């Protein structure tokens, strides 16, 4: 299925309402965004589905979970997020994204290693890309100035690129941690409030 998104407009910006976030195993990404982000910002998430997306628009079509897990398909495990009000919540979502995973461990989250576990933001449109880049740059400044010390490394390796075709994972992988509360999850809060840079 190919991403299609409606837009939200205000007087000065146009932000697409759909993006895809890769932060390691997508079960934890889904739990933190659907449950914990919405605790902070009620009704912010219109929908969210786990699946796969590749930075390469010519990557393998319709990969299986096994193919993605092998690291050979070129896809990243992602959560496709649709926001109700992207003008209000996209920047907040970007900041929250960096709170529950480690963006300094290239292609790895905890014991999960491989390009399929990359820290990746797949954006739609120039404004999403600008905001994602701005938040990521600010994060690097916060790491450089030791305002954030909870990561393993000191270089943010998150990649930001244009969204491509999204392949939805099977039903048993959707809301996996809601169905299996003791299921595997290597995500945790590194910090809970975004620090002031100055």
Terminal alpha carbon distance of the chain: 43
List CB contacts of 50: < 8 A, sequence separation 6 or more.
Answer: 26, 27, 29, 30, 77, 78, 79, 80, 168, 169, 173, 174, 176
Judge whether 19 counts as a catalytic residue: no
**Number of CB atoms found within 10 A of residue 72's CB:** 13
d(CA 192, CA 100): 9
Taking only Cα atoms into account, the Rg of the chain, rounded to an integer number of angstroms, comes to: 16
Choice among 9, 19, 25, 185 that is catalytic: 25
**Catalytic residue positions, numbered:** 25
């Amino acid at each position: 299925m190919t991403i299609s998104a409606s837009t939200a407009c205000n007087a000065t910006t146009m932000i697409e309402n759909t993006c895809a976030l890769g932060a390691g195993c997508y079960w934890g990404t889904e739990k933190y965004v659907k449950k914990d982000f919405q605790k902070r910002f009620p009704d912010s998430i219109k929908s969210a589905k786990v699946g796969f997306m590749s930075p390469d628009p010519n990557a393998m079509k319709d990969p299986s979970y096994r193919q993605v897990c092998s690291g050979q398909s070129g896809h990243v495990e992602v959560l496709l997020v649709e926001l109700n009000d992207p003008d209000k919540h996209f920047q907040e979502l970007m900041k929250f994204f960096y709170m529950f995973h480690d963006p300094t461990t290239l292609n790895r989250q905890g014991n999960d290693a491989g390009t399929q576990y990359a820290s990746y933001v797949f954006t739609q449109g120039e404004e999403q890309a600008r905001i994602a880049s701005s938040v990521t740059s600010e994060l690097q400044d916060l790491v450089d100035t030791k305002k954030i010390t909870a990561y393993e490394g000191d270089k943010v390796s998150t990649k930001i690129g244009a969204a491509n075709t999204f392949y939805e994972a099977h039903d048993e992988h959707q809301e996996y941690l809601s169905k299996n509360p003791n299921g595997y999850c290597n995500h945790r809060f590194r910090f809970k409030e975004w620090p002031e840079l100055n």
